[in-house]
Amino acid sequence: MARQVVIRWGGRAVSGRWALPRRASGAAVLLAHGAGAGQDHPGITAIRDGLAARGHPVLTFDYLYMEAGRRFPDRREVLLECHRAAAAWLRERFPRLVMAGRSMGGRMASYLAAEGEPCAGLVFYAYPLHPVGKPDRPRADHLPRVRAPMLFFCGGRDSMALPGLVDRWIAPLERAALEIIPDADHGFRVPKRSGRTREEVIEGMVARTSEWISVLG
């Protein structure tokens, strides 16, 4: 469904996957991966393909460190430079876009938006509100500066978004909608007793994302 593209800027380049529905509608989606897995991770491709099936053009991409096969993410400035280039690539084809991301990718999108990068909205799949085991180091001071509407999907058992801190930092945001996924961890895995599978959780998030994008002003 998605074809490979190359995103170039300043003598650098990374690969992307471009899913363009035959009948595109609404805003395009820039979908960024998390720290530990690239754009071809099943969780990312499921979101990409699910949104594309609902008519949303979707671009994914690998950050430079992932493209080079390195394990650890680059400095924030380098991540943002790559992310900004991917947004520019997509904006040339669809001026109206939503920036979405899994964990670290969503956090990078939020920094860009807080700095003024234009977008119609932002979608966060497991926003990493704080490092694991370090709830005293929130990564949320910039979120009130984001002017675009935001949609957060948070797992009820996410070790990087403890419920009390979600209530403190995310729930009060004026432009944010918050969806709590009961029993889900940071990877949206759920126990068997929940009666759902991870695939069903992702399918539900995709449906909600599409619905939310469709009503953006």
Look at the pTM and tell me if it is higher than 0.75: yes
Q: Would you say residue 25 has pLDDT above 80?
A: no
Confidence of residue 174 (pLDDT cuts 50, 70, 90): very high
Instruction: Pull the structure tokens for residue 97.
Output: 């876009």
The boundaries of the domain holding residue 85 are: 3-214
Written as one letter, the residue type at 133 is: G
Q: Would you say residue 52 has pLDDT above 70?
A: yes
Span 190-198, average pLDDT: 92
Q: Would you say residue 126 has pLDDT above 80?
A: yes
What is the tally of structural domains in the chain? 1
Q: Would you say residue 23 has pLDDT above 90?
A: no
Cβ density class 118-149: b for 16+ within 10 Å, e for less: ebbbbbbbbbbbbeeeeeeeebbeebeebebb
CB contact at 8 A, 33 and 189: no
Span 154-169, average pLDDT: 94
Confidence of residue 212 (pLDDT cuts 50, 70, 90): very high
Q: For position 217, what pLDDT does the model report?
A: 61
Span 65-83, average pLDDT: 96
- Check which CATH number belongs to the domain holding 77 and give it: 3.40.50.1820
